[in-house]
Amino acid sequence: MFKEGQVKLAIAPIGWTNDDMPELGGTVTFEQCISEMALAGFSGSEVGNKYPRDPVILNKYLSIRGLEIASAWFSSFLTSKPFEETAEDFKVHRDFLHAMGAKVIVVSEQGNSIQGQMDTALFENKPVFSEEEWTVFLDGIQRLGDLAAEKEMKLVYHHHMGTGVQTTEEITRLMEGTDPNKVSLLYDTGHLVFSGEDYLEVLTKYMDRIHHVHLKDVRADVAQKVRDEKVSFLQGVKQGVFTVPGDGLIDFKPIFKLLSEANYEGWFVVEAEQDPAIANPFEYAVKARKYIRENCGL
Ligand SMILES: O=C1C[C@@H](O)[C@H](O)[C@@H](O)C1=O
Ligand SMILES: [Co+2]
């Protein structure tokens, strides 16, 4: 299905230690995490809170295990702080990723976001940008895209539950309101399905803008419970709303087919944040690796 070298497979450390809730997997060591990634058959990783931030040191730990850095998350605050504050932090993040050899920078707008609030009902309180916020956001995100381009990197925007860019309509407004040379899209299956979006429609519509993919599956019963019982995003994660591809409700075969037909090049990152005390991260990494091999030959 995919040609040799077209797609590389990574897994995010969030299944071992959760950046949004560091108490999940707090005792799991950095070396256990990256060793298990490699042992499960992955060749890349994103960056978690236990990773050394010195590129030389980090590279030493990773290269011995045959791992590379695919990218790392960056929180922008374009709608809630002066642009220069976000830009300064972004440049530090960009330069670190550039030194690690990454080609894409994951960005998500966290101004007014409720994703990090433990007791805020997710579906009832999702922020909706005002017209003024959209103007500031669309301008700022393109300026960050210019900063990424200075290092020949791409900004891949992460649509996300509990933020101002979650729904198909909001993704459409972002895509239509930005220059494709400045802003690309990160396609995260789990967030689209949890939000109730038509994930194949988004994939088809913005295929040429997608330059990074997060493979995340959703447990249907937990997702429904989050809606019915007005649970927060973080509580939903703790209750197990997300899991690895092949373990939830999403059929990834049409996703793989469409991406391969469109000659997608880049990373697939398995990203399944769960409580590692309940869902053993190594076991789930192996499960994900097997599902990918069996369903797209990678
Ligand atoms: O890419 C991601 C990074 C996490 O910190 C986030 O909360 C998660 O849901 C995600 O998709
Ligand atoms: Co993601």
Residues 113-136 have pLDDT tens digits of 999 999 999 999 999 999 999 999
pTM value is 0.99
pLDDT tier at 221, thresholds 50, 70, 90: very high
Ligand 1 near 271 CB (within 6 A): yes
ipTM above 0.90, yes or no: yes
Residue 171's pLDDT is what? 99
Counting ligand 1 atoms within 8 A of each CB, the residue from 160, 163, 215, 275 with the most, and so the one to mutate, is 160
What is the distance in A from the centroid of ligand 1 to the CA of 2?
26
Query: Quick one: pLDDT at residue 204?
Result: 98
What is the overall mean pLDDT for the chain? 98
Q: Where do the domains of the chain lie?
A: 7-296
Q: Is the CB of 19 under 6 A from ligand 1?
A: yes
Convert the chain into a string of H (helix), E (strand) and C (coil).
Answer: CCCCCCEEEEECHHHCCCCCCCCCCCCCCHHHHHHHHHHCCCCEEECCCCCCCCHHHHHHHHHCCCCEEEECEEEECCCCCCHHHHHHHHHHHHHHHHHCCCCEEEEEECCCCCCCCCCCCHHHHCCCCCHHHHHHHHHHHHHHHHHHHCCCCEEEEECCCCCCCCCHHHHHHHHHCCCCCCCEEEEEHHHHHHHCCCHHHHHHHCHHHEEEEEECEECHHHHHHHHHCCCCHHHHHHHCCEECCCCCCCCCHHHHHHHHHCCCCEEEEECCCCCCCCCCHHHHHHHHHHHHHHHHCC
Q: pLDDT per residue over 158-168, tens digit each?
A: 999 999 999 99
- What are 250-263's pLDDT values in tens digits? 999 999 999 999 99
Q: Does domain 7-296 have CATH number 3.20.20.150?
A: yes
Q: What's the 190 CA to ligand 2 centre distance in angstroms?
A: 8
Q: Report which ligand 1 atom has the smallest distance to the Cα of 115.
A: 7
pLDDT tens-place string over residues 51-86: 999 999 999 999 999 999 999 999 999 999 999 999
